Amino acid sequence: MEASEVTPALEYLSLLGNVACPNELVSLEKDEEDYKRYRCFVLHKLPNLKFLDARKVTRQERKEALVRGAFMKVVKPKRIYLEIIYDGKFYGCHDPYDLALPLGSSSVKAKA
């Protein structure tokens, strides 16, 4: 069931302080563009909102939510597990950048 079906009359919503709301003051990984995408996605899901996070929803935001909102959901990439066997020794990691690959590896397998 969609959020707009459950709360069709919802006009005011604040997710400030919630992990769903990207906040550049709390996380160095988040920036203004993350917040704009978040607003666009929330407005796509809840088109009757007048205020989101203590800020009035603009006509431009509403238009963008209609056109692009469905595509603004942020999806984390699937993590893989790497196994490397080199010279009879086993090496494994979840992040390929964390593993110093031995030169001349004899076998490499990736597991999703």
On whether both 15 and 61 belong to a single domain, the answer is yes
67 and 99 fall within a common domain:
no
Residue 34 and residue 56 share a domain: yes
Do 48 and 8 lie in one domain? The reply is yes
pLDDT for residue 61: 96
| pLDDT at site 108 | 47
What is the predicted pLDDT for the residue at 107?
47
Same-domain check for residues 9 and 35: yes
- Do 13 and 60 fall into the same domain? yes
**Residue 92: predicted pLDDT:** 66
The answer to whether residue 94 sits within a structural domain is yes
Do both 31 and 7 map to the same domain?
yes
**Ranges of the chain whose pLDDT falls below 70:** 1, 24-28, 74-86, 88, 90-112
Kindly state whether residues 54 and 11 are assigned to the same domain. Answer: yes
Say yes or no: 105 and 58 in one domain.
Answer: no
Segments forming the whole domain that contains residue 87 = 81-111
What sign does the CA torsion over 22, 23, 24, 26 have? negative
pLDDT of residue 112: 47
pLDDT at 83: 66
pLDDT score for 22: 85
pTM above 0.75, yes or no: no
Is 36 part of a structural domain of the chain?
yes
Other beta carbons within 10 Å of 7: 14
Q: What is the pLDDT of residue 28?
A: 67
